[in-house]
């Protein structure tokens, strides 16, 4: 069994780690994301090569950690990657820092590969 993520300092996070650990039937996969694994995940997200690659990493995150990451065009006009809607859905045990670092890494990866943004926007037939 992989090692579990260390606890956040008291009062700095709302991850509900202790409640997750105390419940015997809870999904603890999210706690497998140690600090080292988080760094590897962030590097991987910053290096996505295509929309298919991004979707593959999203599927792996869901399969291995049980965390849903949504990446889609925002509700308004998209002029930069900041206009995209990138959300990590809340899950007990998921650290606040991780919930913010994943979208930031995806934005950095998409900024470096703007063709992926165009693929994402065209996914629903924008450029038809």
Per residue of the chain (128 residues), give pLDDT as tens.
Answer: 567 777 777 777 777 777 778 888 888 888 888 889 999 999 999 999 999 999 999 999 999 999 999 998 877 766 777 778 899 998 888 888 889 999 999 999 999 999 998 888 888 665 55
Per DSSP, the residues of 26-47 read S--GGGG--HHHHHHHHHHHHT
Would 93 be classed as within a structural domain? yes
Domain-embedded: residue 39:
yes
Domain assignment present for 84: yes
Whole-structure pTM value: 0.87
What is the predicted pLDDT for the residue at 102? Answer: 96
Instruction: Choose among 69, 64, 68, 70: nearest CA to 28.
Output: 64
Does a structural domain hold residue 40?
Answer: yes
Domain-located, residue 11: no
Does any domain span residue 2? no
Residue 15 forms part of a structural domain: no
**Structure confidence at residue 23 (pLDDT):** 82
42 is a domain residue: yes
Contact 5, 65 (CB under 8 A): no
Question: What's the number of domains the chain is made of?
Answer: 1
**pLDDT at residue number 74:** 77
Nearest to 65 by CA among 30, 25, 91, 94: 30
Query: How many CB atoms sit inside 10 A of residue 109's CB?
Result: 22
Query: What's the domain range around 92?
Result: 29-122
pLDDT at 125: 62
pLDDT of residue 1: 52
């Amino acid at each position: 069994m992989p090692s579990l993520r260390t606890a956040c300092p008291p009062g700095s996070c709302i991850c509900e780690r202790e409640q997750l650990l105390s419940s015997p039937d809870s999904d603890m996969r999210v706690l497998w994301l140690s600090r080292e694994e988080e760094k590897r995940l962030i590097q991987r997200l910053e290096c996505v090569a295509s929309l298919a690659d991004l979707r593959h990493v999203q599927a792996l995150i869901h399969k291995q950690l049980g965390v849903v990451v949504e990446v889609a065009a925002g509700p308004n006009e998209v002029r930069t990657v900041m206009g995209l809607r990138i959300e990590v859905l809340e899950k007990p045990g998921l650290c606040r820092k991780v919930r913010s670092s994943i979208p930031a890494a995806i934005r950095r990866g998409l900024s470096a590969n703007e063709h992926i943004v165009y693929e994402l926007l065209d996914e629903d037939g924008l450029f038809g």
